[in-house]
Every structure is written in structure tokens, then in C-alpha cells.
Amino acid sequence: MTERVTTSLSDVVPEEALSLPSTDWGRFGPGANVVVCPSNVDEVAATIRWAGATGTRVVPIGTGRHTEGNEPSGDFLLLSTSRMASVQIYEPGDLTLTAEAGLGISALSKVTAENRQWLPFDPVDFPRRSLGGLGAAGQTGPLWTGYGELKNHILGMTVVCGDGRFLKLGGRVVKNVAGFDILRPVVGSRGALAVITSLTVRLFPRPVVDRLLVLEAKSLVDLVGPARAVAMASVLPASIVLVRERNVCQLLVRLHGAAETADADQRTVEAAAGVPFVAVDGGSARVLADSVRDIGGESDLALHAFVLPSRLRELLAIVNDMVDLNVCADVYRGSLRVSCAPEADADEIATRVRHGMERVAEDVVVERLPRGSTHSLGTSRVRSDAVLELERGVKRVFDAGNVLWDGRP
């Protein structure tokens, strides 16, 4: 199969764009018929048209590292944007950057750091994501508290739809209401609507002070009171995170701003929580924040539960005594990510946690499971027929032939 597909694909894309399937391309790597790494938009479109014509599903990926959801069952190819990785326009004075989708976040960060600018997002494994993958996943991380959601900072995109159509969505400016915002559903659609080939993002000035306030306690629920008090305080921190890893429980409040501001905000936070925190600044703060961000990144199990923030305590109570679980909660959103150590029995843990969470949470998303798990990936939320119909309609706008794989759980 692989050989036949590769041969006819090489009629439409150059040989160097084709790679053999392997685990190097992430979870779906081994099962794919072929991996195509186009070097430009025309090759993306040609690949998609070819796939449509041959009944092959297309799964868009960046590096493949963060592929989630269900694997396609029939013939499919992975379309990686990894060879499309150039910065196209960077105007520091505008605080905007346009780059091809395959640009890695760490490479992007190096470019913007020269001007003390950054993309203030922190989903798991952020630096190792591609810009396109970030947009397709639509995940912001806890820094949304201070900066808003990723989707609000994606100003424009170019995409190739399921029939090979090339569309320019949005623009390069921070305010733009010229027409219906058909960019928005693409963000977070995980490649189900279109292959993102470039993005324009809004950047932010790097804060002068990056401070992490740390409070430790014996159990997670002991930290909920202070965490909620901080979330209700008059200052809005950059993020508020509650973590438990290897049975160490911490509340981490991240403050960004000028030195005077950070000092004053720290006093406000401590007054709200009613306890002093340990303050970590600068490089050490970033190292700690990064390690917390990536908790569970390598775990076989990833469960994500969502409630309104005022009900976070109820969610945490479920996992409080399950000390073999690693937990990372975004206090301002009211979400909780659960993972486990490599040696743990992920399937057994999923059984223990899932049911309890589903009773409390508005959404429980099983994002990752060990191979052979008795559970299935997916969300507990039942979307109404009307919403599903609208979603199908939007899918048709971009990919009427259903060429692009919708693996969203």
C-alpha cells in the first residue's frame, strides 16, 4: 500500500516531500500510509486534492508530537507543515508576526526575544509545538488569565481547505471586522476544517518582572481557599495554577509587570490569601513555571475536566486522596488536568477518576489513553442536535468532501 500511494503522490509533490511513516511523526505515525511534508502552499493543495481523489484521509500535523484524538481507520496520510517554517513578516513596532505554520514556537521565541516580545501562552510542551499546531489545537494554557485566549490573538491565517481551495482569513491588524469571522472556527478545530499554512499573531512586550509566588500545602484541597481568594482579588495575575506532582502540592501565582507593580500585586495577593508566599523571580520563575506547564506531557493518560471556577473545590475533592495522580488546575478557568506517572496503571486510574468527575464537571475530556485501554477518547458533554448540525454545516464550508480527518474526541 505504502509503495503504491507514494508512487502516485510523487506525481504531484516532489520526492523530497515524502517520508516514511514511523513513530517519529507522533501517535498516528506508524499507522499512516505516507507522510507528506510540502514546502509550499501549492504542494499542500496538490496533496489534498490527490488525497480527495484517491479516498485517502488527510491528517494535518506540525511535528506530530501533540496529535490527539482518534486515529482514522482507513487509508490516511499525515501532512506535516514542518518544511514550511519561515518567518514572513515581523514588524516589532506593530507587535505582530506572520510566519509559516511549521515554525516551531522555540524558534519563533528566539526571533521575538531580540525585541523583548513574546507569545504569552503556556499549553503543555509549548516550545516544542509548531505555530500552526498551536493554532489548530487552540489551547492557551493558564496564562489566558492575564492575556486572554489564543484565539483572540490570532489575527490572520492562510489555509488550504479540503478541496484544495486556498483562503486568506482575517488580516494583519489587531482590529478587523471586515466580514464574517470564519477564521474563528478554524482555531481549535484540530485540522478538521483546513490545513493552516501560515498565521499572523499578536505579540506582547515581555514583562520587566516575571514573578512566581509559591505556596505549599499538604493537600490540594487545603490550597483551594487561598487559590480562590487570589482569583477573586482586585489584581488579575498572569496565571493562577494549582499543582500536585509526586505528592507535592503547590499554588503558583504568576505576576507580570514593572518591579513596583509586581511588589504591590504580591502584597495584594498575600492579603487576599491571608498567608505569605515564597517569591521566585526571573529565570528561576520561568524554569519553575515551565516545569509545571509540562506536567503530564509524557503521561499515557490525560484527562481534562471543566467547571465554573467557583466549583473547582468539588472537582479537586475527587482527586485529593488519589495521591498517585498528577494534577494541574487552572484556577481562573476552573479546569483540571489529570495525568499519571509512567509506572502507574493508567487504565485503572481512568476508571477510578472519570466517573466521579463526570458527576461534577460540565465537560470531562479524555484526551489521551494508553494503547489497549478499555476506555475511549472523547468528551462527556452532549452537544445538542442543533449545535451538531451547525458544526456539520461549518465543516461543509471548508471541507465538503470530508477529506480532512476530524479526530476530535
Restricted to residues 279-308, the positions that interact with another protein (CB under 8 A) are 304, 306-308
Distance separating the N- and C-terminal Cα atoms of the chain: 28
Stretch that binds another protein, among 38-46, 78-86, 159-167, 272-280 (CB under 8 A): 159-167
Q: How many angstroms separate the CA atoms of 409 and 406, rounded?
A: 9
Q: How many angstroms separate the CA atoms of 179 and 385, rounded?
A: 27
Residue that is written with C-alpha cell 505515525 in the block: 29
Tell me: does residue 148 bind another protein (CB under 8 A): yes
Position among 20, 53, 113, 208 found at the interface with another protein (CB under 8 A): 208
Please tell me whether residue 115 adopts helix, strand or coil conformation.
coil
Tell me: does residue 271 bind another protein (CB under 8 A): no
Tell me: does residue 390 bind another protein (CB under 8 A): yes
DSSP 127-153: GGSBHHHHHHHT---TTHHHH--GGGT
Tell me: does residue 125 bind another protein (CB under 8 A): no
Tell me: does residue 254 bind another protein (CB under 8 A): no
What binding mask, one character per residue, do residues 41-80 give for another protein by CB under 8 A, x or -?
----------------------------------------
Using an 8 Å Cβ cutoff, are 143 and 255 in contact? no
Stretch that binds another protein, among 4-12, 204-212, 278-286, 317-325 (CB under 8 A): 204-212
Q: Please identify, using beta-carbon distances, which residue of 175 and 246 lies nearer to another protein.
A: 175
**CB 130, min distance to another protein, A:** 17
**CB 28, min distance to another protein, A:** 19
Residue 189's nearest CA partner among 137, 132, 131, 139 is 137
User: Which triple of cell numbers denotes residue 238?
Assistant: 498572569
Position among 80, 334, 377, 403 found at the interface with another protein (CB under 8 A): 334
Tell me: does residue 260 bind another protein (CB under 8 A): yes
Using an 8 Å Cβ cutoff, are 228 and 280 in contact? no
Please tell me whether residue 123 adopts helix, strand or coil conformation.
coil
Q: What is the CA radius of gyration of the chain?
A: 22
Stretch that binds another protein, among 58-66, 77-85, 262-270, 320-328 (CB under 8 A): 262-270
User: Which triple of cell numbers denotes residue 42?
Assistant: 501549492
Q: Please identify, using beta-carbon distances, which residue of 206 and 286 lies nearer to another protein.
A: 206
Task: Kindly state the helix (H) or strand (E) to which residue 7 belongs, with its residue range.
Answer: helix 2-9
Q: Please identify, using beta-carbon distances, which residue of 34 and 273 lies nearer to another protein.
A: 273
Q: Please identify, using beta-carbon distances, which residue of 214 and 397 lies nearer to another protein.
A: 397
Residue that is written with C-alpha cell 474563528 in the block: 184
Tell me: does residue 187 bind another protein (CB under 8 A): yes
**CB 388, min distance to another protein, A:** 8
Stretch that binds another protein, among 38-46, 126-134, 171-179, 273-281 (CB under 8 A): 171-179
Position among 18, 309, 336, 377 found at the interface with another protein (CB under 8 A): 309
Strands 363-368 vs 325-330: parallel, antiparallel or unpaired: unpaired
User: Which triple of cell numbers denotes residue 332?
Assistant: 481562573
Stretch that binds another protein, among 22-30, 184-192, 241-249, 293-301 (CB under 8 A): 184-192
Q: Please identify, using beta-carbon distances, which residue of 229 and 344 lies nearer to another protein.
A: 229
Could you tell me the CA-to-CA distances from 181 to 80, 220, 386 in Å, in that order?
Answer: 26, 41, 20
- How many residues of this chain bind another protein (CB under 8 A)? 83
Expressed in percent and rounded to 5, the helix, strand and coil fractions of the chain are 35, 25, 40
What binding mask, one character per residue, do residues 366-385 give for another protein by CB under 8 A, x or -?
-------------x-x-xx-
